[in-house]
Structure 1
C-alpha cells in the first residue's frame, strides 16, 4: 500500500494516541511502510511504536504555532520518507499533515485526516484550537479523505462546514483477545486495593479533564452510597483525587474510606476485572475507547449519551443524559439492583457486541484498504 506517514500532535497516553498504537500493532505496521511524526515529543508511546519496527520522529514543538526550526525539520523528514499517504491525527496533526504534503518532493501525497472529537460547540476549546478547527474547515475540501471515529462527530463537523464529500466513519477497534474477562484477577486486585470480595465495585477510568464529568460522577456515587452500604468506588486516572480543587468537598468525610483514587495506571485490563459496573460520565466524547474496553472485558456499563456511546452500548447497558448526576445515580442504581447473574449476562452481551461490531482486525482492514486505494491517486 505504499508508504504511510502518520502525523500526530503527541504520543502521551490519550485516546487517539492509543488508537494509533493499536492500529500499528494490530497489523498496519506490518502491512505497509509506516512512519510516525509527533509534533511534540515521544511521550509514553514512542518506544512502544519503535518496538513495532516503525520509525518515530519528533518535532519537539511546545504549545502554539510551529517555529522555523520545526518547519525545517518537518520538511527534512518528509523529503526523507517520501510518503504516498500522509495521515493526520486530530486537528493540529491534520493541519500539519497538509503542510507536510506541500513539502513533499515529486507528486504530492494523498492526505487523510483523522477527527477524534465531537464538536458540540467551539466555546470550550482554547482560542488557538478554535482557529485550528476553523482552518481545518477551510482546508477540508482539499484533502482526500476525512476519517471520523463516530457518526455524530461526522454530522457535527459537516454541519460546521467540513467537506461532506470527503467524510467516512471508521470506528475504534479493540483487540478482544487482550481485552477479555479474566475473573481470576478480580480477587487479586481487590486484595491489593483493600476492597472486600463481597463489595460491589463501581469503576471509572479517565484522566482529569472537565469534559470527563468527574464531579457529576462523584456526586452520583455519593448519592448511591447513601442508600447502599455495599458499594465501593474505584477511580483510575491522572490528577483524579480529592486534593484536586475541582473535586474537593464533594465526597463527605464519612464516605471517603469507600473510594479508591489510584491515579494513572497501566494495568487497566486487570483493574476492570475488579469492577461490577463501569461508568462513563463525560459531557463530550466521540467514540470513547474506555467504554469499548470495559465492554470487551465483560463489564456492564452506564454511560452518558455523548458521541456514539448510546449506539455502542445499545441494550447491553444503561444510557443517561450528560451533566445530570441524578440521572447518573439512577442509572448506576438500575444496574446495582440486578442480580449478579443478570449483570454478568449483560456483560457477556456487551462483549459479544464489541466482537461483532468493533474488532481491531476489521478496523485495521478498513484503514489498510483506504491507504491502498489512495497510494496511487495523488492529491484531492
Structure 2
C-alpha cells in the first residue's frame, strides 16, 4: 500500500489519499505523514474501544462522497471499514484480499469467522474485490465470496529500489563471514506458519549433504529467538551452516548477498518477496504457493508445497548451472519484473478501476 500511494503522489498528484489505520501508526504511518499523506489511527488494537473513534471515522467517511472511493485492505478492514463506509453513504467500496491460506493452520479462528462474514456480504457490500493473485479467487469463491466481484491487479515493484548491488553484496558477505566460494541460499520471511520454515530447513539439510559449499540464511521477524527453530536446526545438523538475521529494513541490500533465493511457503497470494528477489537479479526457486508460478514460469524451479525433497532438487539444479547461466537467469528475471510488474503500471490499473467506479 505504501509504495502504491507514493507512486500515485508522483504520477497522479491530483489524487488525494487519506489513510485510516485500524491500529496505530506502525512503521509505515510516519513515512506516509512525512510524504504529506493524512493518516488517521483508530487504535482498535487497544481495549476498550471508544465510541468517539467510530464517530470520527464516520464523519470522515461522510465527506466528499461524490468523488470518493473507499479502498480497504485485508479482512478486518474489509469488514469493519466497508460496513462503516456504507453506513456513511459511501457506495464505492473496494475490498482487497491478498492470500490463499484460509485453513486453521494458516489463520486464526477469529479471522476465519471474519472471512465467513465477509463472504456472506461480498455480493452487496463491495463494488469490486481486488486480489493480487489469480490463485486467491478460487480459494475465496469456495468459501462463499461472490465470483463476479473479483478483479486481479498484481503487486508492483520499484526496480529503482530493488536492484543488485555488488558493493552491498561484498559488505554483507564479509559481515556474515562468507567467502566467495560459498554458495548462499536464503529465505527472507517473518516466522509464520504460512511461510513454512520447516520445509526450508528440511530442504537445507538435503542440499547440505550434496553441496559442502552451501550455506543458508533466514532473515525476518521472529527467526532469531524462536526456540523450536533453533532445535530443528540442531537436529537437522545445520549448526554452522545456517545463518539467522532479524527483520531487515533494507531487504534489497541483503538480497544482493544471496546466490539463490528459495521460497518455501505453503500459502501466499502474490509473493512480494519473490518479485523483489527477481528484481535484484537473484535466481529463484519456489514452492507452488499462490501465484509463484505466474512469476517464475519455469516448472524446473517450482516444487509442490511441503515437499522438501522436490524443493532441494530445484535448488541443486540451479546451483549446478554455470555462473554465467545463473547470471543470465537473474538478468532475465529482472527484465520480466520491469516489463510486467513495474509499480507505475500497477498504479495505473488501480487508477483506471477507481475512475470507472466514479463514472458509474
Q: What TM-score do you get using the length of structure 2 for normalisation? A: 0.92
Aligned-residue offset at 1:123: 5.9
2:319 is equivalent to residue 336 of structure 1? yes
Note if 1:282 corresponds to 2:289: no
Q: How big is each residue's C-alpha offset from its partner over 1:95-147, in whole Å with a ceiling of 9 and x where there is no partner?
A: 1232231343xx53410001111145356422211111011111111221110
Structure 2: gaps (5+ residues) = none
CA RMSD, 1 decimal: 2.1
Name the structure 1 match of 2:187: 204
Residue 132 of structure 1 pairs with residue 114 of structure 2 = yes
360-369 or 60-69: which moved more?
A: 60-69
Q: Alpha-carbon deviation of 1:249?
A: 2.4
1:81: Cα distance to partner?
6.6
1:212 is displaced (CA, Å) by: 0.5
The answer to whether the 8 Å contact 1:200/1:232 transfers is yes
User: CA shift at 1:317, angstroms?
Assistant: 6.7
Shift of 1:156: 1.7
In structure 1, distance between residues paired with 2:46 and 2:141: 27
TM-score scaled by length of structure 1: 0.88
Report the more deviating stretch, 295-304 or 63-72.
63-72
* Deviates most, 361-370 or 56-65: 56-65
Worse-matched range after superposition: 40-49 or 119-128: 119-128
Contact kept? 1:281, 1:322, Cα under 8 Å: yes
Residue 76 of structure 2 is matched in structure 1 by 92
How much does 1:336 deviate? 1.1
In the aligned structure 2, how far is the partner of 1:258 from the partner of 1:188? 19
Q: Offset at 1:151?
A: 0.6
C-alpha change, 1:219 and 1:169, in structure 2 (3 Å) is same
Give 1:116's match in structure 2, choosing from 98, 121, 127.
98
- Work out the CA distance in 2 between the residues paired with 1:124 and 1:225: 29
User: Aligned to 1:215, which of 198, 218, 224?
Assistant: 198
Which residue is equivalent to 1:236? Answer: 219
CA contact (8 A) 1:24 1:52 kept: no
Determine helix, strand or coil for the equivalent of 1:175: coil
Deviates more, 1:107-116 or 1:313-322: 313-322
Give the conservation status (yes or no) of the 8 Å contact 1:88–1:96.
Answer: no
User: Structure 1 residue 245 and structure 2 residue 230: aligned?
Assistant: no
Kindly indicate whether the alpha-carbon contact (under 8 Å) linking 1:118 and 1:156 is maintained by their aligned counterparts in 2.
yes
Cα offset, 1:67, TM superposition: 5.5
| Conserved? CA contact 1:316–1:346, under 8 Å | no
Does the alignment pair 1:141 with 2:119?
A: no
Counterpart residue number, 1:170: 153
Q: The residue matched to 1:201 in structure 2 has which SS?
A: strand
Q: Which residue of 2 aligns with 1:358?
A: 341
Residue aligning to 2:139: 156
Q: Which runs of 5+ in 1 are unaligned?
A: 1-19
Residue 121 to residue 65, structure 1, CA distance change in 2 (3 Å): farther
Match of 1:14?
none
Secondary structure of the 1:33 match is: coil
Structure 2 residue 8 is matched with structure 1 residue 24: no
Matched, 1:319 2:302: yes
Q: Give secondary structure in 2 for the equivalent of 1:32.
A: coil
Q: Which moved more, 1:77-86 or 1:199-208?
A: 77-86
SS at match of 2:40: strand
